[in-house]
Structure 1
Amino acid sequence: MYLKEFEIRWSDVDANRHLANSAYLNYMSHTRMSFLMEIGVDHRSLAQHQIGPVVFYEHMYYFKEAFPGKPVKVSMEIMGMSEDGKFFEFHHNFYNHKGENFAHCEMMGAWIDLKTRKLIALPDDFMKMFESVEKGTGFRVLTKEDTRKFSKTPKNL
């Protein structure tokens, strides 16, 4: 499990004076990118391959409020990946200064070719980086069907 610590800043708080939902998303994104950089998937290597991560969904579950004044930790675990690395599922947990879990998120995404704007498999050198990383309990091999939230295309107005 990867952990990143954050200080709740004034700008992270909403009108109710607790951690804003947008701050949760920012903390998770920062945690994911820090993890990727640590395993070697950094901005430079992403630019060389002309690929980037895209988020399909982030399902948040809030258990308790978080307030400024004490640090919080955000975890990240790899819970799923397709055989070619195209699709991935990460889970995040939020912990207060006492180690109590106050929120959980399940997110799924994929890799996109920035030239063609189409989803692509991970390059071999990236796959090797992910192979050596610890996976979460319950890790599963993802298929395209796992990425579909809706059984059919949503209707437009």
Structure 2
Amino acid sequence: MYEKVLVAGWGDMDFNAHMRNTAYLDKAADVRMMYFSSCGFSMSEFMRIRLGPVVMKDEIEYFREFQLLDDVRITLSLAGLSDDGSRMTLRNDFYRQGTLAARVTSTAGWLDLNRRKLVCPPEALMQALRELARSEDFVVLPDSSR
């Protein structure tokens, strides 16, 4: 299971003194990009091959609060993947002191940055997706490449 420990920082807080909703989305995206970078797909590599992840839907579930300077352990798993790899559902679970505090589930695809269309990822990126742990509710998604 891929995971990172981040910190709930000052800029992540809302008026009620807990982590704001968009901070969860930001941290989920950071962990996803850290994973792809660890697999050889840094931002510069994505720009070189003119490919980028595009999120089509995010869902956030909240169970516990994070407060300023709490450690935030975030895992990444694969909740869905199309056979051609053009679509995926990525799951980030957020833990506070070992307890599930929130979950971000994002449905995404791979965007050809020149043609502005969903495409199949290169084989090395497809392999990185296949190597992610699968969630218990993993589903096969329909292909959407054009």
TM over 0.5: yes
Which amino acid counterpart does residue 127 of structure 1 have in structure 2? Answer: M
Matched position secondary structure for 2:64: coil
Which amino acid counterpart does residue 134 of structure 1 have in structure 2? Answer: A
Which amino acid counterpart does residue 105 of structure 1 have in structure 2? Answer: V
With structure 1 as the length reference, what TM-score do the two structures score?
0.84
Gaps (5+ residues) in structure 1?
A: 146-157
1:8: Cα distance to partner? Answer: 1.2
Supply the distance in 2 between the matched residues of 1:23 and 1:80 (Cα, whole angstroms). Answer: 23
Supply the distance in 1 between the matched residues of 2:134 and 2:69 (Cα, whole angstroms). Answer: 32
1:144: Cα distance to partner? Answer: 4.5
Supply the distance in 1 between the matched residues of 2:124 and 2:19 (Cα, whole angstroms). Answer: 38
Alpha-carbon RMSD across the aligned residues, in angstroms, is 1.6
The aligned length equals 144
What is the aligned partner in structure 2 of residue 79 from structure 1?
A: 79
Contact 1:40–1:129 (8 Å) recurs in 2? no
Greater Rg, structure 1 or structure 2?
A: 1
Identity %: 29
Supply the distance in 2 between the matched residues of 1:61 and 1:133 (Cα, whole angstroms). Answer: 21
Gaps (5+ residues) in structure 2?
A: none
Supply the distance in 2 between the matched residues of 1:102 and 1:132 (Cα, whole angstroms). Answer: 25
With structure 2 as the length reference, what TM-score do the two structures score?
0.90
Of the structure 1 ranges 67-76 and 108-117, higher mean CA displacement relative to structure 2 is found in: 67-76
What is the aligned partner in structure 2 of residue 108 from structure 1?
A: 107
What is the aligned partner in structure 2 of residue 39 from structure 1?
A: 39
What is the aligned partner in structure 2 of residue 154 from structure 1?
A: none
What is the aligned partner in structure 2 of residue 95 from structure 1?
A: 95
